[in-house]
Structure 1
Amino acid sequence: MIDRESPVPIYYQIEEYIKQLIETEALNPGDAIPSEREFTEQFKVSRMTVRQAITNLVNEGYLFRQKGKGTYVSNQKIEQTLQGLTGFTEDMKKRGLKPGSKILDFKLAPAELSVAKQLYINEHDPVYEIKRIRLADDLPMALEMSYLPANLIKGLTEEIVNNSLYEYIEDNLQLKIDYATQVIESSLSHEDEAKLLQIPKNAPILLIQRQTFLDNGQPFELVKSKYRGDRYKFVVDMKRV
């Protein structure tokens, strides 16, 4: 099980062993893993070595700790490829998950200069401002703030936003969504964000800003999202050029 002659560090071998237990469903989300002492006795290694392996898996999102209780298997991360443009609702449905939203704020407001520039509209033009929590199987995935020009995306309601915004834009407004530019950064959650996302304060999150365009080059959406780092990961395929 542990190859002491291998150049691969023992802590890494333990990590791979625990990952295998998770991938083969010997350990499932919510299950407690064996204690550090049990692993120490099983592998005949120091507790520091075991602790390093478990800490690495916590940082990677495979495990999570509950103070005074133990270490448990996390829900596995949802993968999203960066090659295609889909809305959150469409993406969750494709994965067999139930999409949902909890709207925290929905209002019509004059566009601030920074928002107006990215939507190619004039400062103070009306925009829909929508703050919501995005859910997958009733679990919070992201905190999202969206801005849409009201003179372009007409008749928007909370009910439409709670269903599928992209379907409404294409099917009802007969507008063609074409492409988006997206910037992804890493950060740590603040206290208010942590409460809404049901994660610890200072937990890793992904900051994502997306500017989405119609086929005529007009941006119709600016979205600033904060995704849970323990539930989401992005995958990109790259070809040598």
Structure 2
Amino acid sequence: MAVASPAESAAPKTLDRTSAIPLYQQLGEILRSRIEAGEWSPNTKIPSEHELNREYGLSRMTVRQVLTSLVNEGLLFRVQGKGTYVAPGKISAKSPAYTGMRQQLEDAGYKTSTELVDASVGKADKHVASHLGIDAGDEVVTITRLRRVEDEPVSLHISSVPLGLAPSLLKEDSASEQLCVILDREYGLVMGHVEETLESTRASRWEGEKLSINPGEPLLLLRQQVSTPEGIPFEYTRILLRGDRIRLSYSYKL
């Protein structure tokens, strides 16, 4: 006789019509538990609204409301004309300030690849200059990389470094090696302090094209100002992350 896993055992199976908890909320928890217990694999089509209506005895409007809520949570996604499917699980990673994101993902067993989208020397605008402690118009090396996980694009990394601090940076292989490793080894720019901000934004047409999403879809924007132990800023990076595929975690010791 098969023994249910703890996740399966804890999952509610039926609606409790005597409970004070609304039926739509109960159904949401049941479907969420079935997904988390692995009853439906990622990218698998779940029962239709009509089938769920018959199984649980709720109106199609209520079932549709519950499914929409789970879509908004990122647990499900809809394909027009085909149905509703289980979304792939999100990739969990800590802030790159702890350990490079690529190293984290590879340590977790993911296959990653990095595409060098652009590498060039240009003049810093006021925004970039303010984060690098230089004047607007000073020359910076800007490197744009696209990170893929299991062949799916998940993040864009746009890094700027003062040209005077890394004059030969364009000659380095910034697709195969992490930028922080190159800056440390070749130019003695050791990471001593990182300031980060995290906010939501929407994909531009170009960003959407690179990340294989529609323009206007939400992204996480992580900005990093990296300085030496002496407080000299040497890197400013903007990382655009697909919020539907990556979850950032933080840990604090108080």
| TM-score relative to the length of structure 2 | 0.85
Letter in 2 for 1:220: F
Task: Report Cα offsets for 1:75-130 as digits up to 9, x if no partner.
Answer: 11122335952222222222221222222221011222321121012333221112
The secondary structure found in structure 1 opposite 2:169 is: coil
Unaligned runs of 5+ in 2: 1-13
Distance 1:158 1:135 in 2: 23
Partner of 1:230: 244
Distance 2:252 2:99 in 1: 19
Distance 2:157 2:34 in 1: 34
Letter in 1 for 2:205: E
Unaligned runs of 5+ in 1: none
The 3 A distance-change label for structure 1 pair 83 and 126 is closer
Letter in 2 for 1:196: K
Partner of 2:27: 14
Alignment of 1:207-218 (within 5 A): 207-218=221-232
Stretch moving more, 115-124 or 229-238: 229-238
User: What is the aligned residue count?
Assistant: 240
Partner of 2:5: none
Letter in 1 for 2:128: V
**Aligned counterpart for 1:126 among listed residues 101, 115, 139:** 139
Letter in 1 for 2:60: R
Alignment of 1:137-156 (within 5 A): 137-156=150-169
The secondary structure found in structure 2 opposite 1:161 is: coil
8 Å Cα contact 1:85/1:179 also seen in 2: no
| TM-score relative to the length of structure 1 | 0.89
Letter in 2 for 1:210: Q
Partner of 1:189: 203
Q: Percent identity over the alignment?
A: 34
Q: List, as ranges, runs of 4+ consecutive aligned residues in structure 1 with deviation greater than 4 Å.
A: none
**Aligned counterpart for 1:96 among listed residues 103, 109, 112:** 109
Corresponding position: 1:220 with 2:234: yes
The secondary structure found in structure 1 opposite 2:16 is: coil
Distance 2:23 2:127 in 1: 51
Structure number with larger C-alpha Rg: 2
Task: Report Cα offsets for 1:192-234 as digits up to 9, x if no partner.
Answer: 3222211234322112211122222122211122211211122
Distance 2:138 2:203 in 1: 32
The 3 A distance-change label for structure 1 pair 178 and 139 is same
The secondary structure found in structure 1 opposite 2:129 is: helix
Partner of 2:62: 49
The 3 A distance-change label for structure 1 pair 7 and 223 is farther
The 3 A distance-change label for structure 1 pair 138 and 13 is same
Q: CA RMSD in A?
A: 2.2
